[in-house]
Amino acid sequence: GAGVSQSPSNKVTEKGKDVELRCDPISGHTALYWYRQSLGQGLEFLIYFQGNSAPDKSGLPSDRFSAERTGGSVSTLTIQRTQQEDSAVYLCASSLGGRGLFNEKLFFGSGTQLSVL
Amino acid sequence: AQTVTQSQPEMSVQEAETVTLSCTYDTSESNYYLFWYKQPPSRQMILVIRQEAYKQQNATENRFSVNFQKAAKSFSLKISDSQLGDTAMYFCAFVMDSNYQLIWGAGTKLIIKP
């Protein structure tokens, strides 16, 4: 597609349920990032995928969070046993990859607003 | 650890006025890059302007310019002739050379009043 696509746009769930958030990066982009944006906060790095390399999962806040990227394209962020503190906007971004963030532009999706009741 | 601080949670100015958003950062690195991103209500982050730390010349992009003071670790954004479409959250961000982890400030909500 023309841009980074995220679905759903909004998700309301009950505490304890699992949720899956999807990101479709720009075709040909090898780098993919997930960020969490809590109310009144800047973006918090969650995970980074680059091509076929092992992902950098150092930003995932707990073992309830996991992400995968199938075929080097679509990525899914899964949150198990959701808690109220997981409520936030989850943003995905992609870039051509491999040249550093100054040399290549990051393209962001519009995010998924997750609300855990 | 690197940190980015935006001390103005919210600002508002009249259309056509000039506004400056402040950003300070903390790092022991000498080579890094700084960015300003805009986030409109659509939530999609858009790059406004970027600056290389080793360049003394301040970056400019049309109505947007920065005042980069490396010694003071300050990176402010100036918006000239502000327009209604500039209303958005503005985030300052930092990345070390050849790194991929952006460090973000908490943002400044900018409101342009007609």
Q: What is the pLDDT of residues A20-68, one digit of tens each?
A: 999 999 999 999 999 999 987 889 999 999 988 899 999 999 999 999 9
Q: Which of B114, B88, B96 is nearest to B21 (CA)?
A: B88
Cα nearest neighbour of A5 on chain B: B44
C-alpha A96, offset from chain centre: 16
pLDDT value at residue A100: 73
pLDDT over 90, % of chain B: 84
> Look-up: residue for tokens 């899964």?
A78
What are the structure tokens assigned to B69, written together? 């003071």
Cα nearest neighbour of A59 on chain B: B101
The mean pLDDT of B38-53, rounded to a whole number, is: 93
How far apart CA A81 and CA A108 sit, in angstroms, is: 27
Count of pairs with CB atoms under 8 A, one residue in A, one in B: 62
pLDDT value at residue A67: 97
Digit-coded pLDDT (tens) for B54-69: 888 999 999 999 999 9
Kindly list the residues of chain B whose beta carbon comes within 8 Å of any beta carbon in chain A: 4, 6, 9, 33, 42-47, 50, 52, 91, 93, 95, 97-102, 104-107
- CB–CB of B43 and A89 under 8 A? yes
